[in-house]
Amino acid sequence: MPELPEVETVRAGLNKLLPGRIVADVWHNWPKSFPNAPADVARFLVGAKVLAVNRRAKVLIINLSGGYSLVVHLKMTGQLVFQAKNRRFGAGHPSDDLVAKLPVKSTHVIIDFTDGSKLFFNDQRKFGWMRLLPTDHLSDIDFFKKVGPEPLDDNFTVSKFIERLMRRPGSNIKSALLDQTVLAGVGNIYADEALFAAKIHPATLVADINRRKLTTLHSELRAILRTAIASGGSTDRNYVDAEGKKGSYLSFAQVFRREGQPCPRCGTTIIKIRVAGRGTHICPRCQKEPKTK
């Protein structure tokens, strides 16, 4: 579910809400959602103060005093939602107000702060996780060692993009974009949108795409990610930000989840196909099928 823009939206929200708060207690009901709790929780989490909330790729890093960080991956259906003190007891909340209803059926971890506010980790499909890890050693973890560059960094140039993609010359471009070791944070929605914008068929082999097209793909991908962040991300089903609000980017999406509708560029009907084992949305006219396949 959450890709870079969604995780970044959650990060920005939490970074306004959490720093300065002190953990009072932690509850959890699904061991896989929090594999090293409760053993390390009492020792390193309770009493710790939140310093800052950072992001790398699709992973959130909540820095705590005491040298530990809470590292969170939302995977497909994870939510990290903050509830201010007494929020749940207020009257007149609209029925779609998630925060007022917390905890919900899919709540697997609750972090209580000393001021009475709470952070809820909800995850319908239970693929997501949070772990308490020593901050100084995060860079030793396999994931952080292997993950590719942030596509929105200033120094993520066209040459860098092409160099990274060329690590997988023989794979199709969609797989390469989704590969987190090639570059960080791109998932199914933004891969489809960027390939449509650059008029590249997702099954095209990386080595068969010319430099001009890759240059377009680079700039379109970055523009799409930035617009998505500005829209608060994409809510297809479950995604909400730190305050329980949905993102609106899908109203701008050109092809994702728009099969059966006319291509906004040429009017041809958008179709859904399968590439790299994932549902993939294309305009069959704008994105010509590669000859070699």
Structure-block tokens of residue 132: 């308490």
Task: Pick the closest to residue 135 from 200, 68, 77, 70 (CA basis).
Answer: 68
CA angle, corner 236, sides to 72 and 26, nearest 5?
Answer: 30
169 is catalytic: no
Window 127 to 146, contacts with DNA (CB under 7 A): 127, 143
- Name which of 27 and 143 has its Cβ closer to DNA: 143
170 interacts with DNA by CB under 7 A: yes
180 interacts with DNA by CB under 7 A: yes
- Could you tell me if 81 and 64 are in contact, meaning their C-beta atoms sit under 8 angstroms apart? no
Angle, in degrees to the nearest 10, between helices 188-197 and 211-230: 130
Among 41, 178, 214, 270, binds DNA (CB under 7 A): 178
Task: Pick the closest to residue 190 from 229, 155, 164, 143 (CA basis).
Answer: 229
Least Cβ distance, residue 45 to DNA (angstroms): 22
Binding mask 21-40 for DNA (x = CB under 7 A): -----------x--------
C-alpha to C-alpha distance for 253 and 9, rounded to whole angstroms: 18
- Name which of 27 and 30 has its Cβ closer to DNA: 30
C-alpha to C-alpha distance for 131 and 115, rounded to whole angstroms: 23
Helix, strand or coil, per DSSP, at residue 156:
coil
69 interacts with DNA by CB under 7 A: no
The amino acid sitting at 92 is G
- Name which of 231 and 234 has its Cβ closer to DNA: 234
Instruction: Using the structure block, give the residue that is written with the tokens 């932690």.
Output: 26
2 is catalytic: yes
- Could you tell me if 247 and 3 are in contact, meaning their C-beta atoms sit under 8 angstroms apart? no
Catalytic residue chosen out of the listed positions 160, 272, 278, 285: 278
**Only segment of 39-47, 80-88, 119-127, 283-291 that touches DNA (CB under 7 A):** 119-127
**Only segment of 20-28, 62-70, 81-89, 274-282 that touches DNA (CB under 7 A):** 274-282
Catalytic residue chosen out of the listed positions 2, 5, 103, 149: 2
54 interacts with DNA by CB under 7 A: no
Catalytic residue chosen out of the listed positions 21, 55, 58, 164: 58
Question: Facing residues of 52 across strands?
Answer: 63
Task: Pick the closest to residue 80 from 229, 241, 249 (CA basis).
Answer: 241
Q: Write out the catalytic residue numbers.
A: 2-3, 58, 278
Q: Which residues bind DNA (CB under 7 A)?
A: 1-3, 6, 32, 57-58, 73, 75-76, 105-106, 124-127, 143, 168, 170-172, 175, 178, 180, 187-189, 234-239, 272, 276-279
